[in-house]
Amino acid sequence: MNAETGSEADFRPHSSHWGVFTAAMRDGELLVRPHPGDPDPNAILQNFPAALRHRARIAQPMVRRGWLEAGPGPDPRRGRDEFVPMAWDAVLDLLGAEVARIRDRHGPGAVFGGSYGWASAGRFHHAQSQIHRFLNCAFGGYVASVNSYSSGAASVIVPHVLGNYEALTKHNVTWDQLAQHTEVVLAFGGMALKNAMVAGGGISEHVERPAMKAAHDRGCDFILLGPLRSDLPEEAGAEWIANIPGTDTALMLALVHTLVAEGLQDQDFLDRYTTGWAVFERYLMGREDGQPKDAGWAAPITGVPADTIRALARRLHGKRVLVTVAHALQRAEHGEQPVWMAAVLAAALGQIGLPGGGYGYALGAIGYYGRRANAVPGPTLSQGRNRHGDYIPVARIADMLLNPGMTYRYNGQTRTYPDIRMVYWAGGNPFHHHQDLNRLRQAFARVDTLVVHELAWTATARHADIVLPATMTLEREDIGFSSHDPLMVAMHRITEPFGEARDDYDIFAGLSRRLGVEEAFTEGRSSREWLRHLYARTEQALRELGHPAPDFDAFWEAGTLALPQAPDDGGPWRAFREDPEANPLPTPSGRIEIFSETIAGFGEADCPGHPAWLPPQDVPRAGTPLHLVANQPATRLHSQLDFGEHSIASKRRGREVACLHPADAAARGIAEGDVIRLFNERGACLAAAHLTTGIRPGVVQLATGAWYDPEDPAEDKPLCVHGNPNVLTRDVGTSGLAQGCTGQLTVVEVERFTGNLPPIRAFDPPMTV
Ligand SMILES: Nc1nc2c(c(=O)[nH]1)N[C@H]1C(S)=C(S)[C@@H](COP(=O)(O)OP(=O)(O)OC[C@H]3O[C@@H](n4cnc5c(=O)[nH]c(N)nc54)[C@H](O)[C@@H]3O)O[C@H]1N2
Ligand SMILES: Nc1nc2c(c(=O)[nH]1)N[C@H]1C(S)=C(S)[C@@H](COP(=O)(O)OP(=O)(O)OC[C@H]3O[C@@H](n4cnc5c(=O)[nH]c(N)nc54)[C@H](O)[C@@H]3O)O[C@H]1N2
Ligand SMILES: [Mo]
């Protein structure tokens, strides 16, 4: 980070999902410095300088040639067609007319505007808010998406069995409590530092590393359960138990079985705070199926010796134990089960609601968990009202586009997929986030019109019919705010827009004018006036609390504003523990539901009325003998700025790095640094091999986020030459309950790649005419 060369004066504040920073332009070069108060800044910031003016940026509006010539309609050439540059006025006229056609002929039920994605940290130029607001103004609504790729299973099951999802993740055990009180951290899937380095809306203090170090120094034991040793940092000094991926529920069952068999469960806690234990216990002890879920039963399933499981259970008894479960565990087949079963384990240990104890679901997965909440609200752009009301669970996008009229199960309902004509995306990258990309290509080939606002030529932009160049965050003013970081940031503009790029807001304002809804969309405000307007809510809340409340100009001048925070009081869980009658959980029984009448009543075979071990279908077998863990990348946020310096530096021979165990490599003649091919029946990709004993044998790990780069896009299942694991993952829901994303795990075979190495073209702009 060439930070030394700049004088303080012209460094201006800005923020990103991966950290607050200051930046300046010097002789056409971008200089970036992390926020001085950040104890552990995130190196992902280093992706900005090289990315800013990279050839992968989109310089001007583009229309796909086939769409321009043949008009709207299904077209298998999406993703391999040429583009025609167009002036802004012309392209907005064209798009305005197409939006009007869809609206008048098909209505809001034909537009998919879910537009899932992380976009950028500023709260006004937040692409999802902008696009939803626009679609509500222009169509009166659209087909939306619910839940997230992050926590698709957890966010649906938790309200039934544990109550408020936000309370579980964001008003619960904090890093401070962990540093001070916890005696044993049982971390399923770990708490990888790379993950907590990111928080939506920006983050000024990365506190996880120091907190884990303080806990460890005090004598807290960290136990990591999962396939990768790197899922806990060295500072935690963790013991590593490498269970087979996808088997955590069996492991947790066996831990609880051991507690019960040895009379070590906290029966008082179970009686007072939970419901349904008796039903569950019959299953646990095997009173109906004759199979106790004991350590001997779990050993071959989990790959963990029975004695290790029993010894671990005994060690937990009587200690201040915190059970954590990474989001990753529920991003897999039957992902609801480990989320639910971990709550049962924590309840059986009786620690829920105590400082530093209980159940810290997803602690460490993202930077805004395990922190104190701000006492005042931040700026939020109103999205208006969606009068149409139809939605899909977010990860069912390809299913929906391929199967209009088909029914599916979701959260106790039988729902029907709409018939989508137009898909409109801003601020997300489905060719990053979705599974089975060859299936997604077929799905996108089916629609009339695909519109994408992007700052760079992602595979999603390449598949679009109309591509509108969006500014990058550094090229506009905004306000950075996250509900659980104390710093609000006046994000100053650092530099001019790239090429003809425009803010999403200005693009939608221009379209709104053409559709006669400009006043409703803009309310007559410029971007700067919107910032002033949105800031007023925080200013007023500060004043009401009797806290210093600078006006907008003073805030803007100062660059940052420290917000007061809510107390670290254990939130609703502490209150529930102290008095469960006065402070019941918002579940049907008011308690932790170990058996749920509601879920049992839905009658889903793949999500019964209590947590259970449901053997997965997608397991290693002949032809695909290895588990693939497709986890979050350390050197970028998802696919964002994959062409930045820090991300590029982590690649080898231009390709994403896949980790495998030396024994698995030796069996296949693979050496360190070799280019390998990962494949299964859905697709194939290349990656560079890294051999490490820090991974469980039988597991290959390839992070997400390398841009999809098909060698020959005309093929049905082209080889991705760059290393996007989503050509391999399965496009199936977690269960009929939640229909969450299952992209974290699948099975593959791996071989040394011996052909001529194909070039990486992911960052080259497409052909234009
Ligand atoms: N196999 C597998 N797949 C996964 C996961 C996994 O574990 N395994 N994890 C999943 C998870 S948890 C998530 S959250 C998703 C993430 O999936 P996404 O959120 O879709 O991924 P991003 O790469 O963050 O996509 C954001 C896009 O917005 C663009 N962008 C940024 N700022 C702006 C802006 O101001 N305007 C516009 N118009 N565009 C902008 C960026 O260039 C980028 O292309 O991926 C999921 N996919
Ligand atoms: N640097 C960086 N940080 C990020 C993101 C990013 O893209 N980059 N994305 C952010 C987002 S949107 C989200 S939702 C969170 C996601 O948070 P997570 O989903 O928790 O993160 P992952 O890295 O995908 O998975 C964490 C670890 O779980 C382990 N694991 C996988 N399967 C299993 C299993 O079956 N059992 C066990 N015990 N362990 C398993 C893997 O070894 C993996 O490294 O991360 C956030 N943080
Ligand atoms: Mo996520």
Residues 63-111: tens digit of each pLDDT: 999 999 999 999 999 999 999 999 999 999 999 999 999 999 999 999 9
3 pLDDT band, cuts 50/70/90, is very low
Contact 637, 201 (CB under 8 A): no
User: Is 242 close to ligand 2, i.e. is its CB under 6 Å away?
Assistant: no
User: Is 329 close to ligand 2, i.e. is its CB under 6 Å away?
Assistant: yes
Q: Is the pLDDT of residue 2 over 50?
A: no
Nearest atom in ligand 2 to the alpha carbon of residue 632 is: 23
CB atoms under 10 Å from CB of 622, counted, come to 6
Place of tokens 């039963």: 297
Of 4, 17, 28, 103, the residue nearest 421 (C-alpha): 103
Question: For residue 39, what pLDDT is reported?
Answer: 86
Residue nearest to atom 40 of ligand 1 (CA): 427
Q: Is the pLDDT of residue 4 over 50?
A: no
Task: Please name the residues in contact with 535: beta carbons below 8 A apart, sequence gap of 6 or more.
Answer: 379, 479, 552, 555
Contacts by residues 579-584 (CB-CB < 8 Å, ≥ 24 positions apart): 580/272, 580/273
User: Is 627 close to ligand 2, i.e. is its CB under 6 Å away?
Assistant: no
C-alpha 170 to ligand 2 mean position (Å): 18
Ligand nearest to the CA of 365: 2
Nearest atom in ligand 2 to the alpha carbon of residue 149 is: 14
Spatial separation of the C-alpha atoms in residues 117 and 129, rounded to whole Å: 11
Residue nearest to atom 45 of ligand 1 (CA): 433
Nearest atom in ligand 2 to the alpha carbon of residue 150 is: 14
Spatial separation of the C-alpha atoms in residues 251 and 228, rounded to whole Å: 17
142-180: per-residue pLDDT in tens?
999 999 999 999 999 999 999 999 999 999 999 999 999
Residue nearest to atom 39 of ligand 2 (CA): 189
Question: For residue 206, what pLDDT is reported?
Answer: 86
Mean pLDDT for the stretch of residues 605-622: 98
Of 253, 187, 227, 226, the residue nearest 614 (C-alpha): 253
C-alpha 640 to ligand 1 mean position (Å): 7
Q: Is the pLDDT of residue 421 over 50?
A: yes
Question: For residue 8, what pLDDT is reported?
Answer: 67
C-alpha 195 to ligand 2 mean position (Å): 7
C-alpha 390 to ligand 1 mean position (Å): 23
Region class of 55: left (phi > 0), else alpha (psi between -120 and 50), else beta: alpha
From 440, 741, 746, 748, the mutation candidate for ligand 1 (largest count of ligand atoms within 8 A of CB) is 741
Share of the chain above pLDDT 90, in %: 98
Question: For residue 238, what pLDDT is reported?
Answer: 98
Of 59, 119, 51, 61, the residue nearest 464 (C-alpha): 61
Where b means 16+ CB within 10 Å and e means fewer, 172-205 reads bbbbbbbbebbbbbbbbbbbbbbbbbbbbbbbbb
Of 216, 233, 131, the residue nearest 179 (C-alpha): 216
Region class of 445: left (phi > 0), else alpha (psi between -120 and 50), else beta: alpha
Share of the chain above pLDDT 70, in %: 99
User: Is 190 close to ligand 2, i.e. is its CB under 6 Å away?
Assistant: yes
- Extract the tokens encoding 563: 């917000």
Q: Is the pLDDT of residue 6 over 60?
A: no
List phi, psi (to 5°) of 432.
Answer: -95, -55
Task: Please name the residues in contact with 516: beta carbons below 8 A apart, sequence gap of 6 or more.
Answer: none
Ligand nearest to the CA of 45: 2
Mean pLDDT for the stretch of residues 742-751: 98
Residues, beta carbon < 5 Å, ion ligand 3: 150
Region class of 296: left (phi > 0), else alpha (psi between -120 and 50), else beta: alpha
699-738: per-residue pLDDT in tens?
999 999 999 999 999 999 999 999 999 999 999 999 999 9
Spatial separation of the C-alpha atoms in residues 520 and 333, rounded to whole Å: 43
Of 638, 487, 510, the residue nearest 563 (C-alpha): 487
Which class for 286: exposed (0-12), middle (13-18), buried (19 or more C-beta within 10 A)? Answer: middle
- Extract the tokens encoding 303: 């790959």
1 pLDDT band, cuts 50/70/90, is very low
C-alpha 433 to ligand 1 mean position (Å): 6
User: Is 381 close to ligand 2, i.e. is its CB under 6 Å away?
Assistant: no
Nearest atom in ligand 2 to the alpha carbon of residue 228 is: 42
List phi, psi (to 5°) of 155.
Answer: -70, -15
175-231: per-residue pLDDT in tens?
999 999 999 999 999 999 999 989 999 999 889 999 999 999 999 999 999 999 999
Report the pocket of ligand 1 as residue ranges, CB < 6 Å: 116-120, 125, 127, 149-150, 331, 426-429, 432-433, 435, 453-456, 458, 470, 504, 630-632, 637-640, 704, 725-726, 729, 743-744
CB atoms under 10 Å from CB of 490, counted, come to 23
Catalogue the E-assigned strands of 191-255: 221-225, 239-241
Mean pLDDT of the chain: 97
Distance of CA 189 to the CA centre of its chain: 15
C-alpha 328 to ligand 2 mean position (Å): 5
Where b means 16+ CB within 10 Å and e means fewer, 95-105 reads bbebbebbbee
- Extract the tokens encoding 518: 């400009």
Active site residues: 116, 118
Of 380, 374, 375, 371, the residue nearest 545 (C-alpha): 375
Nearest atom in ligand 1 to the alpha carbon of residue 639 is: 23
Ligand nearest to the CA of 744: 1
CB atoms under 10 Å from CB of 296, counted, come to 15
CB atoms under 10 Å from CB of 302, counted, come to 27
Residue nearest to atom 1 of ligand 1 (CA): 743
Q: Is the pLDDT of residue 275 over 70?
A: yes
C-alpha 366 to ligand 3 mean position (Å): 9
User: Is 189 close to ligand 2, i.e. is its CB under 6 Å away?
Assistant: yes
496 DSSP 8-state letter: P
Nearest atom in ligand 1 to the alpha carbon of residue 637 is: 24
